[in-house]
Amino acid sequence: MEKKIVFSGVQPSGVLTMGNYIGAIRNWVELQDEYNCFYCVVDQHAITVPQIPKDLRKNTLDVLALLLAAGIDPKKSALFIQSHVAAHSELSWVLNTITYMGQLNRMTQFKEKSRRSEENLNAGLFTYPVLMAADILIYNADLVPVGEDQKQHMELARDLAERFNNRYSDTFTVPDPLIKKAGARIMSLQDPTSKMSKSDKDTNAYILLLDKPDDIRRKIKRAVTDSIGVIAYNDEQAGLKNLLNIYNAFTNEPIDEIVSRYENLGYGKFKEDLAEVIVEGLSPIREKYDYLMKNKDYLEEVYREGAKKAEYQAEKMLRKVYRKVGFVQR
């Protein structure tokens, strides 16, 4: 039987956070044996907010190296850069023509981002979810491992697949999101009501995959908790809940066992141990990253090969779509 298809992407807007890793990347790694995986650094999505060109180039390669360091194996998965496979944006145009403005207006991420970038409210920011749908549908992906914040975008992708199929006959697989319960939404260390994000102004709010051990220790020590003073897992103690989720993500130890072990030890001791758990979890990634960054030729080989593999599939699909909508064959 043919393997099912997985697609997912990450923006190269700086070094990845622990949220990206726990919510998405570590799940990407797990899927590689069982599925035919396409993993993409989505540079075209990144330019919907202002970028400094030389930084974007550097960040794209950095993220690629980080994905390899985190365990993406280019022998198993196609690892590539979005702008290298033109079919994504070509399909995106076609999908734009079957997307309702009202649907895009309802996207919470668009609403948030447009509030933050009023002076640069460009059309790309608005149609961003359509390009994301194209990324997924062009590979006929069955499964898309993402964090919870991408749920609404995934619904649009499913919707567009169904609408196209209804209008032009069966073409696209309707993709399922894979959102793991544990770690699907890692919160800011400074404000546990908002998502951990690398665009946060407060650098203490997030941990980056390349943070040094002492920075990790400092950030965890300063992480916001509460004045209740007893370790427990509930929504009132949102800060603590988030820290327990992170502990669980790195150790796989069930939350109730972690809670009962630390119940009588206090926040200080728990935070101290959590910091070490994170340091230990991230240090192999950092070491591998350092090694890879000394080997730029290898990185280039990886993304070239990845794009070749991806392009082969994507072009096949694009030709089919063009035929269905009535474009004259080249």
State the catalytic residues. Answer: 113, 195, 198
**Looking only at Cα atoms, what is the longest distance across the chain?**
72
Residue 119, judged by CB atoms within 10 A of its CB (0-12, 13-18, 19+), counts as exposed
Residue 105, judged by CB atoms within 10 A of its CB (0-12, 13-18, 19+), counts as exposed
Q: At its nearest, how many Å lie between ligand TYM and the CB of residue 209? A: 12
Nearest to 19 by CA among 284, 244, 177, 249: 249
Q: Does 177 bind ligand TYM (CB under 6 A)?
A: no
Stretch that binds ligand TYM, among 93-101, 142-150, 266-274, 319-327 (CB under 6 A): 142-150
Tokens of 121: 């409210």
Q: At its nearest, how many Å lie between ligand TYM and the CB of residue 264? A: 30
Contacts with ligand TYM in 261-280 (CB under 6 A)? Answer: none
Q: At its nearest, how many Å lie between ligand TYM and the CB of residue 210? A: 16
CB nearer to ligand TYM: give 15 or 121.
15
CB nearer to ligand TYM: give 163 or 198.
198
Among 11, 140, 237, 242, binds ligand TYM (CB under 6 A): 11
Cα 319 off chain centre by: 28
Stretch that binds ligand TYM, among 180-188, 208-216, 243-251, 271-279 (CB under 6 A): 180-188
**Residue 326 CB coordination number (10 Å):** 7
Determine the Cα–Cα distance for residues 157 and 103; give it in Å rounded to an integer.
11
Determine the Cα–Cα distance for residues 186 and 195; give it in Å rounded to an integer.
6
Tokens of 129: 């979810």
Q: Which residues contact 267 (CB under 8 A, 6 or more apart)?
A: 225, 229, 231, 240
Contacts with ligand TYM in 24-63 (CB under 6 A)? Answer: 24, 42, 45
Q: Does 185 bind ligand TYM (CB under 6 A)?
A: yes
Q: Which residues pair with 178 in a beta bridge?
A: 145
Which residue number places its CB atom closest to ligand TYM?
A: 23
Stretch that binds ligand TYM, among 15-23, 89-97, 255-263, 321-329 (CB under 6 A): 15-23
Binding site for ligand TYM (CB under 6 A): 7-11, 19-20, 22-24, 42, 45, 132, 135-136, 144, 146-147, 149-150, 184-186, 195-196
